[in-house]
Structure 1
Amino acid sequence: MKTKVFGYIILIVVCVTIGVFAAKQYMFSNQEKINPLTTEVYAVKNGYGYRIKLNENILIQQNFIPAAYGKKGFKTRTEAQTIANLVVQKLLAKSSPTVTMEDLKNNQIHIQ
């Protein structure tokens, strides 16, 4: 009797372990399908710019601060990443990826 109960417990533990492992694999394998957009920050002559890629294809390449007068790069990598993330959010929401002066101000982007 004890052997039978022990066997059922082992079987349940194995099934739960397999289920958890399969769920993790499914979540990680579908992560790119959920958000196929990636960002990349890079140095430019006068600061930093960003790229947004869709499945490794460049969708947007921004060498300077959008909406700002002149063609000046972002002052820091963090600023460029912040706006790249904002643009990705807009794209995922199926809205225009246009960056406005208000977006820059709300994200505390320094424009010289």
Structure 2
Amino acid sequence: MQLLLLLRRSLYWKPLKTFLSHSPLFLIGAVLIAAVATPCYAGTRGKSASIFDLTHSTLSIQAVTGYTYQIIANQDGTFGYDVFADGKLFIHQPTIPAMPGTKGFESKAAAESVARLVLKKLKQGEVPPTVYLEEMKKLNAI
């Protein structure tokens, strides 16, 4: 309280009060400039190959028109899937999601059923899509 009284009596109170009253506008302006400038700078690097660009602590989401999937065979004889967004690799899932370890699905059909579930979630706007053990059990994938 005493500090506030001393501050009010000082010569710096009016400039400080003016700055504090205008600081929300300054803060909003600075955030808008940073929001516009950072993705523009990230785009000039020429290597934005993903839908999510997490470099420089920014998240740039582009509109996706279509998702597709492809079943992949692992070297150990199990299967996984890749999900593509507008033809670009979006998710590479060689293992069973939500399971510890590095084991893939036992069959192509199991991998395909989970890949279709992931596509359904993506089309519903769930990004990133989360696959639960219960869902995979319902699909008889595990």
Using the size of structure 2 for normalisation, the TM-score is 0.51
Residue 120 of structure 2: which of 89, 97, 103 is its match?
A: 89
Alignment of 1:6-45 (within 5 A): 36-45=66-75
Residue 64 of structure 1: which of 81, 85, 95 is its match?
A: 95
Note the aligned Cα RMSD (angstroms).
Answer: 1.6
**Residues of 2 paired with 1:63 and 1:83: CA distance?**
12
Give the aligned residue type for 1:86: L
Report sequence identity in percent: 31
Deviation at 1:74, TM superposition (A): 0.5
Q: Which has the higher strand share?
A: 1
Greater Rg over alpha carbons, structure = 2
Give the aligned residue type for 1:98: T
* Structure with more contact order per residue of length (Cα contacts < 8 Å, sep ≥ 6): 1
Q: Does 1:101 align with 2:133?
A: yes
What's the counterpart of residue 18 of structure 1?
Answer: none
Give the aligned residue type for 2:136: L
**Residues of 1 paired with 2:98 and 2:107: CA distance?**
17
What's the counterpart of residue 29 of structure 1?
Answer: none
Count how many residue pairs are aligned between Structure 1 and Structure 2. 77
Q: Can you give the 5+ residue segments of structure 2 that lack an aligned partner in the other structure?
A: 1-63
Q: Secondary structure at the match of 1:53?
A: strand
Using the size of structure 1 for normalisation, the TM-score is 0.64
Q: Does 1:78 align with 2:109?
A: yes
**Residues of 1 paired with 2:66 and 2:135: CA distance?**
23
Deviation at 1:35, TM superposition (A): 5.7
Q: Can you give the 5+ residue segments of structure 1 that lack an aligned partner in the other structure?
A: 1-33
Deviation at 1:59, TM superposition (A): 0.5
